[in-house]
């Protein structure tokens, strides 16, 4: 298992920077939240995934080291059950563009939005 040599949260842009083998990966808080490895998001089996909507402005509020294999992320929407292994974070980094496009397509198919409903009501 390859551990990142650097982990840095850029608070203003809400981007988590990870460096694996001198290769930097920039992952937004929204991206990490909607692709959470938790059962709440992924479900307990194929077809049980729960599409995450309204997470455009979610922020990471805490990062906790979990042994030598992972970090736990806490988000300001109360979600704090995420344990991101180094392998999973590297997979997210390497496949970010494809995973993001898949997510956007899922939102479109579900006629859902990245913007929280409370904001969406007033932004029209």
Residue 48 has what pLDDT? 73
Residue 122 has what pLDDT? 40
Distances 28 to 46, 69, 100 between C-alpha atoms, Å: 25, 21, 11
- CA 84, CA 74: separation in Å to the nearest integer? 11
Helix (H, G, I), strand (E, B) or coil at 61: strand
pLDDT string in tens for the chain (124-residue length): 689 999 999 999 999 999 999 999 999 999 999 999 886 777 667 777 889 999 999 999 999 999 999 999 999 998 888 899 999 999 999 999 999 999 999 999 999 999 987 654 444 3
What tokens were used for 44? 């307990």
Give the residue ranges of DSSP H helices in the chain.
Answer: 29-34, 39-42, 86-94, 96-109, 117-120
Please tell me whether the overall predicted TM-score, pTM, comes out greater than 0.85 for this model: yes
């Amino acid at each position: 298992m390859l551990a990142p040599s650097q982990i840095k949260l850029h608070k203003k842009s809400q981007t988590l920077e990870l460096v694996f083998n001198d290769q930097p990966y920039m992952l937004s808080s929204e991206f990490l939240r909607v692709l959470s490895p938790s059962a709440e998001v992924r479900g307990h089996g194929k077809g049980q995934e729960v599409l995450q909507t309204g997470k455009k402005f979610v922020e990471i509020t805490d990062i906790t080291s979990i042994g030598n294999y992972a970090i736990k992320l806490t988000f300001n929407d109360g979600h704090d059950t995420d344990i991101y292994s180094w392998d999973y974070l590297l997979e997210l980094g390497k496949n970010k563009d494809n995973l993001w496009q898949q997510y956007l397509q899922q939102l479109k198919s579900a006629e859902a939005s990245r913007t929280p409903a409370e904001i969406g009501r007033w932004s029209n």
